[in-house]
Amino acid sequence: MTAQTGYPNHPKIAIYPGSFDPITFGHLDIIRRAIMLFDQVIVAVARNREKRPLFSEQERMEMIKNCVTDLPGVEVDCFHGLLVDYARKKGATAMIRGLRAVSDFEYEFQMALVNRKISEDLITVFLMTHDKYSYLNSSIVKELVSLGADVGCFVPAYVKERLYDKLRKK
């Protein structure tokens, strides 16, 4: 039996939503930790009206797919609208949220409570990223590339190339 449903042959599915603009080693660390807990992890690229992403949804999905080819059970998708609706549609009962520092927790805790109020069936699982990625986020990576820095220690080589190509065109 699985913990998700109590019935045999029902996979435990989790959604890992985010903007992933671009995906970093910190994100990949969370995905690797999540796939140890769940049968399937759907990395869901979200459309956030408050952000102006550097990469399109399709570009972000393609970069993520390139980075998770060695991880069975990981699916890449995108969604618009309410996360709880998307989770229901996908048959997920858990949402993965990565925490880098205590400062992330307050916002993530608030969002988890809102999601629980909307859908009591969707649980939030907080995963701490490895401490070597605790300071890392996509905005820092983009800023470093725009200033000419080498970001090979923060993102996979494929993502690094895509970043350099995109930011050199600007």
How do residues 139-167 score in pLDDT, each as one tens digit? 999 999 999 999 999 999 999 999 999 98
Structural contact between residues 133 and 166, judged by C-beta atoms closer than 8 angstroms: no
99-146 confidence digits (pLDDT tens): 987 778 888 888 888 888 898 889 999 999 999 998 899 999 999 999
Whether residue 65 lies in the annotated active site: no
Question: pLDDT value at position 2?
Answer: 44
Single out the catalytic residue among 60, 97, 100, 142: 100
Catalytic residue among 19, 138, 142, 160: 138
Q: Is 51 a catalytic residue?
A: yes
Contact between 126 and 97 under an 8 Å Cβ cutoff? The reply is yes
Domain boundaries, the chain: 13-135
Q: What does pTM read for this prediction? A: 0.90
- Asked if pLDDT for residue 23 goes beyond 80, the answer is yes
pLDDT confidence tier of residue 51, bands split at 50, 70 and 90: confident
Q: In CATH, what number does 13-135 get?
A: 3.40.50.620
Catalytic residue among 27, 60, 142, 160: 27
> What SS3 string covers the chain?
CCCCCCCCCCCCEEEEEECCCCCCHHHHHHHHHHHCCCCEEEEEEECCCCCCCCCCHHHHHHHHHHHCCCCCCEEEEEECCCHHHHHHHHCCCEEEEEECCHHHHHHHHHHHHHHHHHCCCCEEEEEECCHHHCCCCHHHHHHHHHCCCCCCCCCCHHHHHHHHHHHHHC
In the annotation, is 134 catalytic?
no
